[in-house]
Amino acid sequence: MSDGSTSPESTTEIGEDPHEGGFRAHTAITTERGGPRYGEFSEQARTLMDNVRYACPTPELADELIADLEKINAKLAAVRIDEWHSPSGTRIDLPARGNITLPPFEVTEVNDDGVFASVTFRDFHLGGNKAAHGGHVAVAFDDLGGYASAVAIQGVSRTAYLTVQYRSITPLNTPLQAHTWAEKVDGRKVFIKGTLHDGDRLCAEMDALFIKLDPGQQ
Ligand SMILES: CCCCCCCC/C=C\CCCCCCCC(=O)SCCNC(=O)CCNC(=O)[C@H](O)C(C)(C)COP(=O)(O)OP(=O)(O)OC[C@H]1O[C@@H](n2cnc3c(N)ncnc32)[C@H](O)[C@@H]1OP(=O)(O)O
């Protein structure tokens, strides 16, 4: 079984030095890095975080779990690679491109009106009272806003500011509808808006500025 990291069919061409300045020189899109079960692996990691968020282990069970997790961490530490070649963040076939640090989203459509995605906040995104933590809502907006910016300018940009208006509770474990779009492009400045809905109900809105990076910019 291949780890897919060098498969020319599944990755965009990246040379010896795949990054330029602070970001990738190319949009690395892969469907094979990490192997065919990388999605299940990521999902197990998310479920681990869900369970940890709500678990109250006995001291004896905590001892056992620490020993188990030490073994798992040793296995993972042995296969760590650099950020440019890691599957996380490049697997466009998986929720949130296989990046478990993002709220899992699935992009459902990209068109002239922007990026449309289904986002599901998990148990481990809990803020309080069954609602998502506001910081996680901002994370989802940052990534999907960056996506809309990338689509608008066909290039890489970085967040200069991002404001979220929290309009109503954002529920956990519910597929929510996210929409991000470029309202205006002015030179390197990309003004991005976003909304997050639970059905007809508006949960949050985003207003952000992304700056297109100059070649080689850190
Ligand atoms: C089939 C489809 C396939 C699709 C494939 C998938 C595609 C997916 C693609 C991608 C998705 C991923 C998306 C990820 C997104 C995540 C992004 C982040 O989280 S980035 C990390 C957080 N942000 C930072 O750490 C920035 C830190 N700050 C900086 O580095 C600089 O300040 C920077 C780059 C933002 C600007 O610095 P300067 O030196 O380049 O530019 P200056 O000259 O300062 O600003 C340019 C213009 O912008 C204005 N500006 C800059 N910052 C501003 C601010 N905070 N507020 C207002 N204006 C600002 C300035 O006034 C200037 O405007 P005037 O040209 O003079 O009109």
* ipTM score assigned to the predicted complex: 0.95
Confidence of residue 10 (pLDDT cuts 50, 70, 90): very low
Q: Please provide the size of the chain in residues.
A: 218
Confidence of residue 27 (pLDDT cuts 50, 70, 90): low
How remote is the CA of residue 159 from the centroid of ligand 1, in Å?
A: 4
d(CA 132, CA 115): 22
The label of the residue with tokens 């692996």 reads 41
Q: Is 187 near ligand 1, meaning CB less than 6 Å away? A: yes
pLDDT band at 3 (very low <50, low <70, confident <90, very high): very low
Read off the pLDDT of residues 167-206 as tens digits, 9 standing for 90 and up: 999 999 999 999 999 999 999 999 999 999 999 999 999 9
Phi, psi of 78 (to 5 degrees): -70, -20
Q: In the chain, where do the E strands start and end?
A: 19-20, 23-24, 105-111, 114-119, 126-128, 131-132, 157-166, 176-186, 189-198, 201-212
Average pLDDT over residues 109-114: 97
Distance 129 CA to ligand 1 centre (A): 34
pTM: 0.91
pLDDT tens-place string over residues 45-64 = 999 999 999 999 999 999 99
DSSP symbol at 49? H
Question: How far, in Å, is the centroid of ligand 1 from the Cα of 160?
Answer: 4
